[in-house]
Amino acid sequence: MNQNIKSLVAELNEYRDAYYNRSDPLVTDAEYDALFNKLKQLEHESGIVLSNSPTQTVGYEVKSKLNKVKHDIPLLSLDKTKDINTILDFSKANPCLLMLKLDGLTVELLYKDGLLIQASTRGDGHIGEDITHNAKVFNNIPLTIPYKGLLRVTGEAIIHKQDFNTINDNLSTDEKAYANARNLVSGSVRQLDSKICANRNVCFILWDVLEGLDEECDNARSDKIAHCVRMGFESSITKYFVYEWAKEYLPEWIEEMKYAAEKEGIPIDGLVIKYDSITYSKQLGGTSHHNNDGLAFKFEDEVVESRLQNIEWSLGRSGQLIPVAVFDPIKIGGTIISRASLHNVTVMKNLLGDFPHNSQKIFVMKANQIIPQIVTAEKRLPSDSEMIPEHSDCFKIPDCCPVCGFPTILEKSNNTEIVSCVNPHCTGKRLSRFEHFVSKQAMNIEGISTSTLEHFIEKNWLKEFVDIYKLDQHRNEIIRMNGFGERAYDKLWDAIQTSRTVSLDKFLVSLGIPTIGTTAAKSISNYCHGDISEFEYLINQDFDWSILDDFGQTTSDNIKNWFNDPFNATNYVDLLNFIQIQKPEVKEIKSSAFVNKTVVVTGTLKHFTRDSITDKLEELGANVSGSVSKKTNYLIAGEKAGSKLSKARQFGVNILTENQFLEMIS
């Protein structure tokens, strides 16, 4: 019956499109009405109504903002591997499901007594955004299902490749093409106006049931997914298997599933393996980052050959010039790329040799399928510089700033060569400072792009950080700017207003004090109990910040020098007239071996990201440090621990493996 409903919906929608959009009716009104009534009858009998059914007259809903949703069951990530042997080892324990790892946006749907009552994004796994208004206009979500009780499912919102290409093909000549389907679906699902989402052909692919169907299904994930398919959901391509089969056929299955996804136009970036037994899955537990009952098998990063065209130099907020490689456009992972950062002079020389030139062969990948990166290149060293083709131009380190024209200086810092602009008032530095100020780790002002900042700086609206909070003075002019309008301005201004309440650590990061990044700012904030008054008292007392872990004399001097500069001090006071520093909630510290202990984490961890283990350690009462010293109590060492491990041994620090750490906190 479900398949009949899908077929009728597709057929009737084709007739509707021909009638309303192409003025080319394919059937008579009587024939259409007969099919329409048949669909209504099937929907009534089955209790299944799809979101794109012609029987639904869902209006387009406009939201003023997306509300936050707390996930009752956290939507955690997956541990990752690129090694097929890891997948095989994983499958030894229990029968598994092999599914496509869809490249879209994770979405949770909640049904109560057969009605869709809420849809939300994954967010950070604990707090997401309410997108119910947009989910109702997805192509294939059932709005009603034949199920009484609570059903919570999760899956991926995607845009099929053919739809993505059609959307790009139909853009006007002055509209910029969308980079990839993942970014497009993420933006579409978060639109305030559901009409925009409805025009993007977003689909929902289910891949797990988090709650419900316990009485209807056995203790098997595959049974619950199959039951959902019978209720109208579309599920991921899935293969059930046991270890004995996988030993022989796993490589073949991987290629089959990649081919099937390509044929169906489904965007993927790997495969997922999960245990089929729900009981066994629950026994395995997990971490704050992921559950232990599944793995993401990431495909190897694709490496593509190109030719170097040029090296451009962009200016960082500290005045450092960053080399950026510009090369012949290449397509990797569905997107066209032609630029990759070389970070600094040392990295540039290590990758390209001492004489990079504009005919040089390079090999490029997208690290983790996101960040363009040069892997290697045909190098030209001093001994063979004569081998460079005559028509090629060698690229030199700039002797003047590309923004202000002032001289540059080449210097060495921590064995790394960098080029810096000597002009303290360079306008390029101003742009970088504002980019840093609005960034997520600082004031987190959403919606201010680099190009928007450039426009505002060019018009002289932004000289100092406080000017961000005075942009309402230019409201009428901003609304008339290309790409803006009243709605875009209101969204920007709301984000600016939201940023006015901020924690002390993020505020300190935003100021751009040299060497005061996220870790150092947290240390200061913790020492001052998140209280701006305590911080200012210590500043006025000429406090020696080097007594804090990881704070050497240089960092302490940087803080003092920054606040002793009258220009900085004045801007700091002006900024606080518009900003409220919010003290952190006092959290109950769990009793543990890490209370008031200084802990350093190094190397690659299997069960944690660097942010998640920092959060966990702070929850356990630890002080997380970035470097090893005699004050360090514990070093948690993952793979490729490096020099910190050697230093910890030298100081006699307690060294823990990740598993030992997990055992201590279990």
pLDDT in tens, 287-322: 766 788 999 898 777 788 888 888 888 877 667 888
- Beta strand 634-637 with 623-625 is unpaired
Q: Which residue has the higher pLDDT, 640 or 486?
A: 486
Q: Which two tokens stand for residue 214?
A: 């316990």
Q: Which residue has the higher pLDDT, 271 or 53?
A: 271
**Residue 160: its pLDDT value, please?**
92
Q: How many CB atoms lie within 10 A of CB 75?
A: 19
Question: Among positive and negative, which fits the CA dihedral 437, 443, 444, 445?
Answer: negative
Q: How far apart are CA 433 and CA 464, in angstroms?
A: 9
**SS3 for 99-142, per residue?**
EEEECCEEEEEEEECCEEEEEEECCCCCEEEECHHHHCCCCCCE
Given a contact cutoff of 8 angstroms between Cβ atoms, the answer to whether 203 and 160 are in contact is: yes
**SS3 for 417-438, per residue?**
EEEEECCCCCHHHHHHHHHHHH
Give which of 315, 225, 312, 325 is closest to 276, Cα–Cα.
Answer: 225
Given a cut of 80, whether residue 606 has pLDDT beyond it is no
Catalytic amino acids?
101
Q: Which residue has the higher pLDDT, 579 or 381?
A: 579
Q: How confident is the model at residue 369 (pLDDT cuts 50, 70, 90)?
A: low
Average pLDDT over every residue of 50-64: 63
Given a contact cutoff of 8 angstroms between Cβ atoms, the answer to whether 489 and 497 are in contact is: no
* Cα→Cα distances 160→41, 167, 264, 570, Å: 30, 11, 8, 53
Question: Which range is least confidently modeled, 206-210, 458-462, 584-588?
Answer: 584-588
In terms of DSSP H, where are the helices of 345-424? 345-352
Given a contact cutoff of 8 angstroms between Cβ atoms, the answer to whether 621 and 589 are in contact is: yes
**Residue 368: its pLDDT value, please?**
53
Residue with tokens 């799809």: 50
Average pLDDT over every residue of 361-369: 74
For the stretch 143-193, pLDDT in tens is: 999 998 999 999 999 999 989 888 888 877 666 777 678 888 988 898 888
Helices 2-20 and 29-46, axial angle in degrees (round to 10): 150
Q: How confident is the model at residue 138 (pLDDT cuts 50, 70, 90)?
A: very high
Give which of 360, 311, 315, 361 is closest to 340, Cα–Cα.
Answer: 311
Helices 450-458 and 427-438, axial angle in degrees (round to 10): 130
**Residue 318: its pLDDT value, please?**
64
The mean pLDDT value of the chain amounts to: 84
Q: How far apart are CA 221 and CA 96, in angstroms?
A: 10
Question: Which range is least confidently modeled, 39-48, 125-134, 237-246, 338-347?
Answer: 39-48
Q: How far apart are CA 248 and CA 140, in angstroms?
A: 36
Q: How far apart are CA 297 and CA 272, in angstroms?
A: 6
For the stretch 93-126, pLDDT in tens is: 999 999 999 989 999 999 999 999 999 998 878 8
Q: How many residues does the chain have?
A: 666
For the stretch 487-530, pLDDT in tens is: 889 999 999 999 999 999 999 999 988 888 888 898 898 888 88
**Residue 427: its pLDDT value, please?**
72
**Residue 143: its pLDDT value, please?**
92
Average pLDDT over every residue of 380-391: 50
Given a cut of 70, whether residue 414 has pLDDT beyond it is no
Q: Which two tokens stand for residue 173?
A: 């000549």
Q: Which amino acid is at 254?
A: I
Q: How confident is the model at residue 411 (pLDDT cuts 50, 70, 90)?
A: confident
Bridge partners for 510 per DSSP:
none
Q: How confident is the model at residue 474 (pLDDT cuts 50, 70, 90)?
A: very high
**Residue 392: its pLDDT value, please?**
52
Q: How far apart are CA 185 and CA 206, in angstroms?
A: 16
Q: How many CB atoms lie within 10 A of CB 409?
A: 11
**Residue 389: its pLDDT value, please?**
52
Q: Which two tokens stand for residue 508?
A: 């300190």
Q: Which residues contact 252 (CB under 8 A, 6 or more apart)?
A: none
Percent residues over pLDDT 90 in the chain = 27
Cα angle 126, 132, 133 (rounded to 5 degrees) comes to 145
Torsion of CA 337, 343, 344, 347, to 10 degrees: -80
**Residue 54: its pLDDT value, please?**
77
Question: Among positive and negative, which fits the CA dihedral 184, 187, 190, 195?
Answer: negative
Q: How far apart are CA 214 and CA 224, in angstroms?
A: 8
Given a cut of 90, whether residue 469 has pLDDT beyond it is yes
Q: How confident is the model at residue 59 (pLDDT cuts 50, 70, 90)?
A: very low
φ/ψ of residue 470, rounded to 5: -120, 10
Given a contact cutoff of 8 angstroms between Cβ atoms, the answer to whether 435 and 453 are in contact is: yes
φ/ψ of residue 306, rounded to 5: -150, -175
Kindly state the DSSP code that residue 377 receives in the 8-state scheme: E
Q: Which two tokens stand for residue 203?
A: 């689909």
**Residue 58: its pLDDT value, please?**
43
Q: How far apart are CA 384 and CA 224, in angstroms?
A: 65
Given a cut of 60, whether residue 22 has pLDDT beyond it is no
**Residue 222: its pLDDT value, please?**
92
**Residue 391: its pLDDT value, please?**
47
Q: 3-class SS at 330? A: strand
Q: Which residues contact 422 (CB under 8 A, 6 or more apart)?
A: 319, 406, 407, 408, 409
For the stretch 629-639, pLDDT in tens is: 888 889 998 87
pTM for this predicted structure? 0.51
**Residue 446: its pLDDT value, please?**
84
Residue with tokens 């991926």: 156
Cα angle 466, 472, 476 (rounded to 5 degrees) comes to 140
Question: Which range is least confidently modeled, 134-148, 284-298, 457-471?
Answer: 284-298
Question: Which range is least confidently modeled, 150-159, 248-257, 470-479, 645-654?
Answer: 645-654
Q: Which two tokens stand for residue 216?
A: 């209807």
Residue with tokens 């769990």: 590
Kindly state the DSSP code that residue 455 receives in the 8-state scheme: H
For the stretch 65-84, pLDDT in tens is: 788 999 999 888 888 888 88
**Residue 353: its pLDDT value, please?**
82
Helices 553-564 and 566-576, axial angle in degrees (round to 10): 80
Given a contact cutoff of 8 angstroms between Cβ atoms, the answer to whether 471 and 456 are in contact is: yes
Given a contact cutoff of 8 angstroms between Cβ atoms, the answer to whether 209 and 225 are in contact is: yes
Q: Which two tokens stand for residue 512?
A: 């751009």
